[in-house]
Structures are given as C-alpha cells and as structure tokens.
C-alpha cells in the first residue's frame, strides 16, 4: 500500500500550481497528522475498555496505540515544519491554530510515558495510565476548538471546506496516502502487540519450566510479565 | 453531600491550623509580580500583557497547592481510611476540588489587589465584576484539573515534577480562554464586559472536565 501511495505521489499527482514539487510532502504530512490524532483518541477508547473490564490486555493495546501515535505525531510535526519552511519561509508559525493545538496535544501525550513509568506498582500503573489516556483523549477535540477560536489562520484548509478544492487526481492520491499511513499504523500496532504477547508467553513458559529465578525482571515495560 | 462537607471542613481546618499552602501561594504570587516588574522593565502594564502576567502567575501559584493536595492522604493513610468508609468515592474529588478552589479564591483576594497596586496601570473599578466572573470560572477549571492531576501524581515517583508536567498542557485551553477574556478587561479604556465567547468556552471546559473527572476518579482510588 505504501509503495502504491509513493508511486502515485511522485508520478501521478500533478504539480501544485504555486508551490511546485514541495507540495508533495503534504501527502505525507497530513495523513501522519490525521492518523496520529486518531491514534490518540483510539488509545483513549481502548483505555475505557481497560477500566471497564479490568483486563490488562486492553491497557497494553492502549499503551501501544498511544506511543505509536506519538511517534507518528512527531513525524507529522517534522514534515509539517519542513513544508512550512519551504512554502511560508519559516519553520514555525504561532498564528496558526492547527499547528499550535497539535503541538499542545503532542506535549501532553509526551508526558504519558514518563507518567506511566514513574508508578511502580504494575496494576496501579495500568489503571492510572488508562485514566490519563481517557482524559487526554477527550482533551484532543476540546483543545482544537480552543486554539482555533483564539487565532486567525494561514494553514491551508484542505479538508474542512466541504471536501476542499482538490482536483480529482490529487484527491485520489491524498486518499490513498491516508489509507496507506493508516494501514501502516495498524500494522505497527498489530506487530508490536504480537511481539509483546509473544514475549509474555515466552516468559511465562520459562517461569513454568525453569522456575521464577530464571526469568529476569524487565525494566521499563507496560506489558504484564 | 454530607461527606463532601465533612471532608471539606477537614481540609480547611488542617490548612487553617498549619497555614502551609495558602501563605506560600500568596508570597509566591507577590514575588512573581515583583520579578515581572523587573523582567518587563515597565512602570505599569495593561491590556493583554497584564492579563497574561496575571494568568501565568495564578497558574504557577496554583501548582504549589496542587503538589500538596493529596500528600497528607498518602503519607498518613488517608486513602485507606477513606476507602474503608461506606461513602461514595467521588466525594473525595468534589471535596478536594472545592478546597483547592477556595484556596485559589483566597489567593486571588490578596493577589489581585497586589497586582493592581504593583503592576497594573488602569484602574480596576469598572472591570471588577467581569474580572470576578472570569477568575471564578478559571478557578473551577484549575481546581478540577488540579485535583485530577494531583490524584494521579501522588502515587508516582517524581511527584512534584509529574504533577505540573501533566497538568500544564491540560490547562492550556483554559488559560488561553482566561488570558483572552481578561485582556479587554484590563485595558486602558475598558467597557467592563468580558468577551462572551471566552466565558462560554471556559464554562464548557469546566463542565466537560468536571464530568470526566467525576467519571474516572473512582478508578484512581482503587487499591
């Protein structure tokens, strides 16, 4: 999917009229931003699952969702910065609500891991992390409204004005890029969940066969082991 | 309701007897005003600048209270005692938030006149009612988020660090609204009415986070 997306980006979509080739980074930046914000909200929803059922696996899903979304988020921030430098002339722009609200959300979720790993008792760690994930997930839309109300905008509004004014070929490329980044996120998520599950099962097997001493305690880990 | 009142009375009595938090907050605010005077190198400030200075000072002073909010409970077994009592758990949230709100009100009763004397250019008279309204809503926001963050942080290792680190980003929308609402009020020729959109936003923020905090607080108290 990613391969198709990149092929389309480079060969199919026409050059944007006033920004030229640089505009193509938009196909990376916007999907990254959208997927990361959705990932944060998704993490919050998974955390609700954890608090309702009390099973640690939901918390693990929430943890993986949030930290992947944070990585995608920083990638989005950096690609956005590159695009900003190329098209507006400077790396950052305070008067732009989309950027500022995005930065605030990223700063908030960057505190998720320090919070998590500063609580030592694993049950409590999982619970508190879930509470934080829910509150922070609810915060994402509220923050967006606040910052948007506070400032004027120069950020191109591609999606908000009734489908935007993308010509057909660009719209197709955009949708495919969005799907591609979304699928990449889901793939990473499943992969990491599988890795954590496998490690947990391996450790349980070692514990059963070799006794508790044979299994070294893991350092920072959100997974039950 | 009676639980809330009992818990609130306990906290206020403790504070009255020990006098730890509120005097520290007041001193901190006044010193911060002095620092701002030198940092900005101005005789008097007004308008949005004044609103920003006041908002930031109140925010950082409230962090002092937030750090201390649940410490006594943690160190002296208050959490266990509360869990053993046959009362609704979210009463603790409401009581602590109310206590924090009251501390902030006392702080503002002293810090805002100090601000007026030390830094503010224009007279406060016409803007006073608007100022009270905006600060009341801001206090509720600080209280709700502060209590939630304090409850999360009290069990963490680097408690005094984690509390503000989580709380500040969560409070940013409320602070944007407070500062923007106070800006026109502290300007030289003020009409005395705060901009309604920011008041509405602060109200919405308070409501959403109060409900959210109420919903998740029980999970923070489990053992």
Per DSSP, chain B holds a count of helices (H) and strands (E) of: 9, 0
User: Sorting pLDDT into bands at 50, 70 and 90, what band is B141?
Assistant: very high
Between residues A139 and A13, which one has the greater pLDDT?
A139
Q: Which regions of chain B does DSSP assign to beta strands (E)? A: none
**pLDDT over 90 for what percent of chain A?**
0
pLDDT tens readout for residues A110-166: 888 888 888 878 888 888 888 888 888 888 887 777 776 666 544 554 444 334 455
The answer to whether the CB atoms of B173 and A146 lie below 8 A apart is yes
Question: Cα–Cα distance between B51 and A207 in angstroms, integer?
Answer: 60
pTM score, two decimals?
0.79
Alpha-carbon distance values, B6 to A65, B16, B70, B97 (Å): 41, 15, 16, 14
* Lowest pLDDT segment from A29-38, A178-187, B135-144: A178-187
**Once rounded to an integer, what is the mean pLDDT over residues B32-49?**
87
Q: What are B84's two structure tokens?
A: 């053993």
Percentage with pLDDT > 90 across chain B: 29
pLDDT of residue B139: 94
Residue B27 banded pLDDT, cuts 50, 70, 90: very high
User: What's the gap in Å between the CA of B200 and the closest CA on chain A?
Assistant: 11
CA distance B121 to chain A (A): 25
- What value does the CA radius of gyration of chain B take, rounded to a whole number of Å? 18
What number is the ipTM of this complex?
0.72
Lowest mean pLDDT, pick from A9-13, A22-26, B55-59, B200-204: A9-13
Average pLDDT of the residues in B214-218: 87
- Examine the pLDDT at B46 and tell me if it is beyond 90: no
Report the range of poorest mean pLDDT among A172-176, A180-184, A198-202, B211-215.
Answer: A172-176
Query: Which DSSP category does B130 fall into?
Result: H
Nearest to B49 by CA among B185, B195, B141: B185
HSE-up (13 A, CA, CB side) for residue A203: 15
SS3 A193: helix
pLDDT attached to residue A125? 86
Beta-carbon separation of A135 and B158 below 8 A: no
| Predicted confidence band of residue B184 (pLDDT cuts 50, 70, 90) | confident
Contact A115 B162 (CB under 8 A): yes
- Nearest-CB residue to B176 (from A108, A121, A146): A146
Chain A residue whose CA is closest to B163: A115
Interval B138-154 mean pLDDT: 91
Q: How far apart are CA B40 and CA B56, in angstroms?
A: 14
Cβ <8 Å between B177 and A147: no
Q: What distance in Å separates the CA atoms of residue B26 and residue B111, rounded to the nearest whole number? A: 6
Q: In this complex, which of A104, A128, A149 lies closest to B169 when CB atoms are compared?
A: A104
CA distance, residue A96 to nearest chain B CA (Å): 14
Q: Taking the domains of chain A in order of start, what are their residue ranges?
A: 2-12+22-155+166-210
Chosen for mutation from B170, B180, B205 (greatest number of chain A CBs closer than 10 Å) is B170
Instruction: Give the count of alpha carbons within 13 A of A145, CB side only.
Output: 14
In angstroms, the CA A80 to CA A96 distance is: 12
Give whole-number Cα distances, A125 to A25, A114, A210, B89, B165, in Å: 39, 11, 28, 20, 17
Q: How far apart are CA B155 and CA B159, in angstroms?
A: 7
Instruction: Identify the sign of the CA torsion B199, B204, B205, B207.
Output: positive
Q: What is the average pLDDT across B176-201? A: 82
CB contact under 8 A, B172 and A134: no
Find the closest chain A residue to B222 by CA distance: A124
Alpha helices (H) along A151-220: 168-210
Nearest CB to B152; choose among A104, A128, A149 = A128
Q: Determine the Cα–Cα distance for residues A149 and B79; give it in Å rounded to an integer.
A: 41
E strands of A5-75, at which residues? none
SS3 B203: helix
Chain A contact present for B102, CB below 8 A: no
Please give the pLDDT value at position B17.
86
Q: What is the distance between the alpha carbons of residues A18 and A207, in angstroms, rounded to a whole number?
A: 63
Q: What is the number of residues in chain B? A: 223
Is the model more confident about B161 or about B104?
A: B104
Reported as a single tens digit per residue, the pLDDT across A53-66 is: 888 888 888 888 89
CB-neighbour burial class of residue A163 (10 A; exposed 0-12, middle 13-18, buried 19+): exposed
Query: What pLDDT, on the 0 to 100 scale, is given for residue B218?
Result: 83
DSSP helix/strand/coil, A219: coil
Q: Which range among A149-158, A191-200, B70-79, B106-115 has the greatest average pLDDT?
A: B106-115
Task: Tell me the C-alpha distance between B199 and B140, whole Å.
Answer: 13
Give the pLDDT of residue A95.
66
- More confident: A39 or A210: A39
**Helix or strand (DSSP H, E) at A16:** none
- The reply to whether B201 touches chain A by the CB within 8 Å rule is yes
Contact across the interface for B197 and A149, Cβ inside 8 Å: yes
A135 contacts on B by Cβ (under 8 Å): 148, 170, 209, 212-213, 216
State pLDDT tens for residues B97-135. 999 999 999 999 999 988 888 887 777 777 888 889 899
CA B45 – CA B26 distance, rounded (Å):
21
Confidence of residue A10 (pLDDT cuts 50, 70, 90): low
Distance separating alpha carbons of residues A66 and A110, to the nearest angstrom: 9
């Amino acid at each position: 999917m990613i391969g198709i997306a990149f092929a389309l980006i480079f060969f199919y979509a026409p050059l944007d009229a006033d920004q030229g080739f640089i505009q193509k980074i938009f196909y990376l930046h916007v999907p990254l931003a959208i997927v990361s914000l959705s990932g944060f909200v998704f993490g919050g929803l998974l955390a609700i699952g954890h608090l309702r059922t009390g099973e640690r696996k939901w918390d693990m899903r929430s943890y993986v969702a949030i930290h992947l979304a944070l990585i995608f988020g920083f990638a989005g921030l950096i690609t956005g910065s590159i695009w900003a430098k190329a098209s507006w002339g400077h790396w950052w722009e305070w008067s732009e609500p989309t950027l500022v609200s995005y930065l605030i959300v990223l700063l908030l979720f960057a505190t998720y891991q320090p919070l998590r790993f500063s609580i030592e008792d694993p049950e409590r760690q999982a619970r508190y992390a879930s509470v934080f994930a829910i509150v922070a997930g609810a915060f994402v839309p509220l923050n967006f409204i606040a910052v948007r109300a506070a400032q004027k905008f120069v950020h191109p509004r591609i999606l908000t004005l009734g489908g935007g004014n993308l010509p057909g070929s660009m719209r197709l490329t955009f949708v495919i890029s969005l799907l591609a980044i979304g699928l990449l996120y889901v793939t990473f998520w499943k992969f990491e969940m599988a890795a954590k599950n496998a490690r947990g099962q391996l450790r349980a097997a070692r514990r059963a066969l070799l006794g508790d001493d044979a299994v070294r305690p893991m350092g920072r880990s959100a997974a039950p082991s | 309701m009676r639980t809330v009142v009992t818990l609130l009375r306990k906290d206020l009595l403790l504070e009255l007897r020990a006098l730890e938090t509120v005097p520290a907050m007041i001193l901190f605010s006044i010193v911060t005003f002095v620092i701002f005077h030198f940092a900005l190198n101005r005789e008097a400030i007004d308008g949005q600048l004044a609103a920003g200075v006041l908002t930031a000072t109140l925010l950082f002073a409230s962090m002092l209270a937030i750090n201390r909010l649940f410490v006594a409970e943690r160190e002296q077994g208050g959490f266990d005692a509360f869990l053993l009592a046959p009362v609704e758990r979210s009463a603790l949230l409401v009581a602590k938030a109310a206590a924090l709100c009251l501390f902030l009100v006392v702080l503002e009763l002293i810090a805002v006149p100090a601000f007026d004397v030390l830094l503010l250019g224009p007279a406060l008279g016409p803007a006073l009612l608007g100022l009270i309204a905006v600060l009341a809503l801001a206090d509720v926001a600080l209280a709700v988020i502060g209590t939630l963050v304090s409850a999360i942080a009290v069990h963490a290792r680097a408690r005094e660090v984690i509390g503000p680190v989580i709380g500040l980003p969560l409070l940013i929308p409320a602070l944007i609204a407070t500062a923007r609402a106070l800006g026109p009020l502290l300007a030289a020729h003020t009409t005395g009415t705060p901009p309604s959109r920011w008041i509405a936003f602060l109200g919405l923020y308070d409501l959403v986070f109060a409900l959210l905090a109420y919903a998740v607080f029980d999970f923070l108290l489990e053992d």
